[in-house]
Amino acid sequence: MTETGASSHRVAGTDKDVLVKVENLQKYFPVQTTSLFRRNHDQVHAVDGVTLEVRRGETLGLVGETGCGKSTLARCIARLCDVSAGRVIFDGRDITSLTPRQMRPLRREMQIIFQDPYGSLNPRRRVGSIIGDPFALHGIADGAERKRKVQEVMELVGLKPEHFNRFPAEFSGGQRQRIGVARALALRPKLIICDEPVSALDVSIQAQIINLLVDLQREFNLTYIFIAHDLSVVRHVSDRVAVMYLGKVAELAPAEDLYQVPRHPYSNALLSAVPVPDPKKSSDRHQIILIGDVPSPIDPPAGCRFHPRCPKAQERCATEEPALASVLGDSAEHVTACHFPVEKGEDLSNTSRVSVPPSGSQTT
Amino acid sequence: MALLEVSDLHVSFPTPDGVVRAVRGLSFAVETGKTLGIVGESGSGKSVSTQTIMGLTRGARVSGQALFEGIDLLAMSPKELRSVRGAKVGMIFQDPLSSLHPYYRVGWQIIEMIRNNHHEISKAKARERAVELLRLVGIPQPDRRVDDFPHQFSGGMRQRAMIAMAMSLNPKLLIADEPTTALDVTVQAQVLQVMRRLQEEFGTAIILITHDLGVVAEVADDVVVMYAGSTMEKADRYETFGAPHHPYTEGLLQSLPAYGGERERLRPIPGQPPSLINLPGGCPFHPRCPYVMDRCRAEMPPLFEVGGNPAHTSACWLSRDQVERAALRTKVVGQPLAAPAVP
Ligand SMILES: Nc1ncnc2c1ncn2[C@@H]1O[C@H](COP(=O)(O)OP(=O)(O)OP(=O)(O)O)[C@@H](O)[C@H]1O
Ligand SMILES: Nc1ncnc2c1ncn2[C@@H]1O[C@H](COP(=O)(O)OP(=O)(O)O)[C@@H](O)[C@H]1O
Ligand code: SF4
Ligand code: SF4
Ligand SMILES: [Mg+2]
Ligand SMILES: [Mg+2]
């Protein structure tokens, strides 16, 4: 609760407060597609011109449909892959073109927690040595000293010291994710990227891990980039949230603003699609059901990328790409890339391009 | 009489580590035109129970009864069951690739399904029906996409194609096991809408298995909450979400982020679900239950009627008077159960 207070007092944009700065970042993957007559060397525009910053001590949530570029953006920031164009600045330093070798000392300052607590842990290694990896990699602490440090971090994440010699298979999904958190936390990084950290867990266990992440953030003043497809979880943990669509940021705002006054038609659709665990509320809200699928990132639509599915699209949208800017009197903190942003209270569910379930269809 | 009436279903698997008791005394009923939601954490026996009813579990010890239109599915021969599957009961799985064959065109697979069961229908007629079904589930340009291979469809389209296939014989019951778990929320909303529409049009009964409480709240008429192979609570969706009785149901609901307002800590259920080989004695939830009493450790509670409502039952020793139950919650947990806000 003090957390909320602190984050709202954070000053916008002064460089000292910014841990990560991403400028017009682009990441293309070459792909081969064979059409009837020739082989094309196309490119997937996984991240296509993203500009944003992550402030010290905050949690920036990243949401959007599968394939929209969330993980790729995160991997570029951590420089786990090369960047096609644009810049990544970490802690005041341009890391865009550092070699893996030059990146090495920086690795301890940024860590990633992955979705799959099963796949990301080597089953043949003991938990203690898995968590000890970062120490070994950076030549920090040896022998008994390392063991002590590992047990210290195990305790922080709620694992018992006697788990040190066990194998991952002996742990439940939630405990394995704790191992992932411990490994990420071991060297007290400045930035932790959480890529779907709770998606594979049951709800009751999800809540345990989320509380853990929030507690650790407070204790060690960590900065998080938090990727998840569960929008209510993102709302719970994030100070600010970026909504991505086809490699671009559609809207970026303080979490409460985004959830209360979403401006981009896509944000509106995304939020309205979330099932509400309360039958009294779910029967009388207006759900926007988008038609069609996300277009191919190999050949994204011209103009606004959302226009083929957008309930508010007009001619201009097909030709002119909207810039990210604050609209309809929103604060400078709340930016939207749309020519015709959604007014508060505007109902998109009865616009022509979307279909609406017949009212009362679920109550019999 | 309900369309499907399952009573006292037990399923166990002998394994080298011991006997896995996956389903223990499950009972539920599904009415024509209604949706029954089955929720529970992974491993609680949701899939095993419905797969057993359809004769799809191998090497399992099974007992109990599953009356479909009055006839016991568990007593049928494999051949009789095959004629029920598809024709009378359609099934949708979490991973559409597991039931769409990758080598055959989507349309061809639907056409085969129809022709195998209705030999009198011509190929052309069956194709027409396949196109119609694809249109019904919202595949754009169905007359062209009918000739696509599964890999040419997106995940959401494959899931919809599978619904089309499951619906092709106009079954009386549709069993959907985590049909939207692998999908984005926007696509999930499309798929759930398709299922709802089909139900309205054809009066299909649906069993929807999911671990997503939001999905259940939106589409299920009645809800069964499962834990460690047993039913913990059964009620209509308004009771389940508005006035849950069982501490496990309550725990699931309150571990969801209570959005809006201040950033509170979440309230998880402590601990882990039990091993199905070494189940705790008495109430299976007792090691994690904040209300646990001596009796809970010794005796497994049967399903009791809650608040004098025969449609609401809970397997718990706590008072079945809803006012007393709510007062107890305030005493133990410290506050009443708040409903999460709309995001
Ligand atoms: N190594 C690669 N080669 C080719 N294309 C890739 C590669 N990695 C990612 N892509 C493509 O880049 C796009 C963005 O992928 P990314 O993994 O960042 O999505 P995401 O938003 O994290 O999705 P999800 O929610 O499914 O995790 C997708 O179209 C994906 O297919
Ligand atoms: N063939 C099998 N042999 C042994 N155990 C099994 C088998 N199939 C399922 N189980 C076990 O039965 C339990 C219930 O599984 P399942 O019904 O798939 O759970 P869910 O509720 O997630 O659908 C799990 O513990 C699972 O590991
Ligand atoms: S710019 Fe046009 S097409 Fe794009 S989101 Fe706004 S209204 Fe829709
Ligand atoms: S029977 Fe006892 S342990 Fe089980 S849920 Fe009820 S109060 Fe809790
Ligand atoms: Mg990803
Ligand atoms: Mg299952």
ipTM confidence: 0.85
Q: In terms of domains, do A267 and A363 share one? A: yes
Interchain CB distance below 8 Å, A357 and B196: yes
- In short, whether A269's Cβ falls inside 6 Å of ligand 3 is no
Q: In terms of domains, do B15 and B62 share one? A: yes
Phi then psi for B182, rounded to 5 degrees? -90, 5
Q: Is residue B188 part of a domain?
A: yes
Q: In terms of domains, do B55 and B179 share one? A: yes
Q: What is the CATH number of the domain that holds B9?
A: 3.40.50.300
Of B162, B189, B222, the domain-final residue? B222
Q: In terms of domains, do A180 and A281 share one? A: no
Q: Is residue A255 part of a domain?
A: no
Q: In terms of domains, do B183 and B49 share one? A: yes
CA distance linking residue A129 with residue A137, whole number of Å: 12
Sheet holding B304-306, edge to edge: B89-92, B173-177, B205-210, B35-39, B222-227, B230-236, B309-314, B304-306
Q: In terms of domains, do A29 and A46 share one? A: yes
Phi then psi for A308, rounded to 5 degrees? -65, -20
Interchain CB distance below 8 Å, B266 and A292: no
Q: In terms of domains, do A172 and A195 share one? A: no
Q: In terms of domains, do A181 and A194 share one? A: no
Q: In terms of domains, do B191 and B286 share one? A: no
Q: In terms of domains, do B171 and B212 share one? A: yes
Minimum-distance CB partner of B156 among A202, A278, A293: A293
Q: In terms of domains, do B217 and B128 share one? A: yes
Structure token digits, residue A16: 């000292």
Which residues crowd ion ligand 5, with CB under 5 Å? A 71
Its domain, for residue B116, covers 4-222
Q: In terms of domains, do B87 and B43 share one? A: yes
Q: In terms of domains, do A267 and A361 share one? A: yes
Taken in order A261, A267, A273, A275, the sign of the CA dihedral is negative
- Among chain A residues, CA nearest to B266: A207
Reference A125, options A159, A189, A171, A193; nearest CA is: A171
- In short, whether B227's Cβ falls inside 6 Å of ligand 4 is no
Q: In terms of domains, do B253 and B190 share one? A: no
Q: How many domains does chain A have?
A: 3
Q: Is residue B79 part of a domain?
A: yes
Tell me the CA distances in angstroms from B202 to B15, B96, B172, B174, B208, one per residue in order: 42, 23, 8, 11, 17
Its domain, for residue A307, covers 263-364
List chain B residues with CB under 8 Å of A231. 185, 343
Distance from Cα A288 to the centre of ligand 3, integer Å: 15
- Pocket test of ligand 4: the residue of B232, B245, B316 to mutate, having most ligand atoms within 8 Å of its CB, is B316
Q: In terms of domains, do A89 and A141 share one? A: no
Q: In terms of domains, do B152 and B300 share one? A: no
Q: How many domains does chain B have?
A: 2
Q: In terms of domains, do B198 and B292 share one? A: no
Q: How many helices (H) and strands (E) does chain A have?
A: 12, 11
Q: In terms of domains, do B206 and B265 share one? A: no
Do the Cβ atoms of A142 and A152 come closer than 8 Å? Answer: no
Q: In terms of domains, do B78 and B194 share one? A: yes
Q: Is residue B241 part of a domain?
A: no
Q: Is residue B169 part of a domain?
A: yes
Reference A234, options A268, A203, A182, A198; nearest CA is: A198
Reduce the DSSP state of residue B166 to 3 states and report it.
helix
Structure token digits, residue B198: 């089909």
pLDDT by position in tens, chain A (length 364): 333 433 433 444 456 799 999 999 999 998 766 556 666 678 889 999 999 999 999 999 999 988 899 999 999 999 999 999 999 999 999 999 999 999 999 999 999 998 776 677 888 899 999 999 989 888 888 889 999 999 999 988 988 888 899 988 888 788 888 999 999 999 999 999 999 988 888 888 889 999 999 999 999 999 999 998 888 899 999 999 999 999 999 999 999 999 999 999 999 999 999 888 888 877 667 788 887 777 888 889 999 999 999 999 999 999 999 999 999 999 999 999 999 999 988 888 765 454 433 333 333 2
List chain A residues with CB under 8 Å of B266. 207, 210-211, 236
CA distance linking residue B88 with residue B68, whole number of Å: 10
